[in-house]
Structures are given as structure tokens and as C-alpha cells.
Amino acid sequence: MENLNPLTAMQSVKGYLTKLEELTFMQILFSSSATIRRGNFGLSRKEVERLLEIGNDEHAFQSFLKRVNGAVSRYMKVIYDKQRNQVVALMRVPAKQARNVLSKESLAILMFIFYHQEVLQNEYTLFSQLIQSFGHESLQITRKIQANLDPLKKIGAIDDYDDNKGEDAYQLTAIGAHLFSDSYLRRYTEFSQSNQLHLEDVIRFFKRYNLKGDIADDPLET
């Protein structure tokens, strides 16, 4: 029977990493916890390089990421978001489990923010833009959107953003930018377009190449 225990997969890390790299990986896991580091997820590249004692060595840094993901890729994915300068560990979960974390309303809001910032290249998304897109301005819709933004903040998918105008605004984090797998984006786009699409076209549309998205199938990631 196939072993589906993530803790067993962690044992294989020793065969891929040096002791120093293993400790650095554990620091990334620790810093990526929503419980431990709310509002400040992951480590900067400079901090990771300091822990690895490699200096500004691109080859060593990429080698570390590749070997970590080679060991734990079925259950986790360590990503480096250059734009946000964050190294973050993400856990892959089945769709049924993901629905216990985010409601369909929260997921829809996240997809809107993801499209608004990653595809349209806006720096942030205003609360008023969410109101305009998801309903007319009223106390009921305002409260409903605020309630569905809270889970996104708790898991570190979005952060509050100061637009210097006093208006509520939100910015996608490295976690939010990588939360949707390529296979999920493909299903989402095909459903909205009522047409089957090549994955490469979907990735290009969502600018996933800029995020170093993988074209390979993600059996547990949704």
C-alpha cells in the first residue's frame, strides 16, 4: 500500500540535505506557520542564505530549494517569491480538507484579488472594489465580505495594505500568490469559459511562469 504519512516523508529529508540545510528547512517550516508568524510568513532570501552560510550564491540557493522539494513534494512545496522576497513552505491538501479552511465565498474573493494583482498587475485591491464586484454597497454585504476576508488573513494569503488614502486595501502575499495549483486554475478557467484549454495557455494567462509554477500534475494540490 502506498504510504500517505507526511511524517514518514520527512524522514527522507536527511538523504537529500546536509545537517545545516535540514535545520534551515525546519526554520522555514516554523516561520511559515500561521499560528507562529501571523502577518509575517516565511523567511527572506537573505535570512535563508545566512542560515545556509552560502552568501549570495544563486546556484546553492536554487539547489537547496530543488532538493527540499524533491524530498517532500508530495505533501509540501517550498517556494521563493522574488517579488515579495519570501521563502515559504506550503502544505498540499485535498479539496475536501481545503473546504474546511476556506468557504466558497472566501475562495471567490481570493481568486478576484489573485486575478486583480497577479494578472492585471495592480499593487493592491481596495475594499470598495470588492464591494463593487460582489454586490452593492450595504451594511449586509460589507459585513459579509469582511467576514470572508478574515480567514484569508489568518492563513496568510492576504495582508492589509496602507494606500495612504485611509481606505481599506489588501495585498496578496507569497502564500496567496501560490495557493492555487496550476491544475486548479485550469479547471476554474475551463468551467468559466465552458471550454477545454491547454494547461500551457492557462499558465500563460495567469502569468504562472513569473511565479515559477509547475506544469506537472499536482495530485494532492487543488
Whether residues 11 and 83 share a domain: the answer is: yes
Domain count, the chain: 2
Q: Confirm whether 27 is domain-assigned.
A: yes
Residues 64, 25, 220: CA angle, nearest 5 degrees: 90
Whether residues 106 and 83 share a domain: the answer is: no
Expressed as residue numbers, the domain containing 150 is: 96-179
Q: Which amino acid is at 72?
A: V
Q: 112-142: per-residue pLDDT in tens?
A: 898 889 888 899 999 999 988 886 666 688 8
Residue 172 bridge partners (DSSP): 158
Q: 84-104: per-residue pLDDT in tens?
A: 888 998 887 766 666 677 888
Q: Confirm whether 220 is domain-assigned.
A: no
Cell numbers describing residue 72: 517532500
Last residue of a domain, one of 92, 123, 146: 92
Confidence at residue 60, expressed as pLDDT on a 0 to 100 scale: 94
Residue 162 in contact with residue 170, Cβ under 8 Å? no
